[in-house]
Amino acid sequence: MPTATRVPRHVAIIMDGNGRWAKARRLPRFAGHRRGVEAVRTVVKACAERGIEYLTLFAFSSENWRRPAEEVDLLMRLFHGALTQEVESLHRNGIRLKIVGDLARFGERIHALIENGERLTADNRRLTLTIAANYGGRWDILQALSRLVRDDPAAASAGMFKEEQLAPYLSMSYAPEPDLFVRTGGEQRISNFLLWQLAYTELWFTETLWPDFDAGSLDAAIDSYRRRERRFGRTSEQVTGSATDEPQESAAAGLAAAGG
Ligand code: IPE
Ligand code: IPE
Ligand code: MG
């Protein structure tokens, strides 16, 4: 059971507010997305410096295809550009790159870049950077379940699956569940991000728009996280160690016997 006293091992972020950042400056939405990529660079570096082991960024949701074709096209070009230009520098900095999501919808060139980037950085362990692209939490649960049923049809027909059996099939099975979730841009919703994995994650929302998010913003999120008490269904006394595991009666009896 992870405690909240240290730096979170895994931070997952919904990077929202690029469009509003641009609009406030009378710039096209694309300008906001471009500044968003710069914020990604800043935050990746800050996470590595703070000893965070996993950083997961929601870059494109399975619902974002509903945006105007022109914006989708620009986002794909940005994704392609980032995969082309950033992988070397990630590798130099000891960062492992992972892409999760329904990648079938991306073109050949992006597939090749993803494969190369993941292969090149596979042995890096300083920080694992996961980019969720064409990702949806419901898609993730369904693809995991489909593969589990295929691998174990007997258990499926007996209706006997346990959580521990599904978990290895989820697309982020290589990472612990997020300790800290951050959403920028002021909205307080999950937007079909990591649904299964966020079950016990500490949530933090900020009005800051993603292009303005920096190391100081990250520190504010971590500060908040460190003040949380992660109880996972238990009582505060159990978590802080001020209670014994013995039933109440016997603890009372013990006290009485000791003359307390
Ligand atoms: C987040 O910024 C980036 C993506 C969803 C790709 P938005 O583009 O959603 O920015 P707002 O919410 O319109 O300000
Ligand atoms: C969520 O942002 C997805 C990403 C950041 C990639 P959106 O801006 O698309 O979320 P909604 O649709 O407003 O909830
Ligand atoms: Mg948005």
pLDDT of residue 43: 98
Question: In this structure, which ligand is nearest to the CA of 56?
Answer: 2
Please state whether the predicted TM-score (pTM) of the whole model is above 0.75: yes
What DSSP string runs through 144-196?
Answer: HHHHHHHH-HHHHHHT---HHHHGGGSTTTTSPPPSEEEE-SS----TTSSTT
Using a 6 Å cutoff on CB, does residue 79 contact ligand 2? no
Look up 16 and say whether it is catalytic.
yes
For the chain, list residues with pLDDT below 50: 246-260
Active site residue 192: no
pLDDT, tens digit, 9 for 90 and up, residues 220-248: 999 999 999 999 999 999 999 886 654 44
Neighbours of ion ligand 3 (CB under 5 A): 16
Q: Is the CB of 19 under 6 A from ligand 1?
A: yes
Of the candidates 23, 4, 40, 9, the one whose C-alpha atom is nearest the C-alpha of residue 176 is: 9
Mean pLDDT, all residues of the chain = 93
Shortest-distance atom of ligand 2 to CA 16: 5
Pairing of strands 54-61, 95-100: unpaired
Nearest ligand to the C-alpha of residue 17?
1
110 within 8 A of 77, measured Cβ to Cβ? no
pLDDT of residue 248: 46
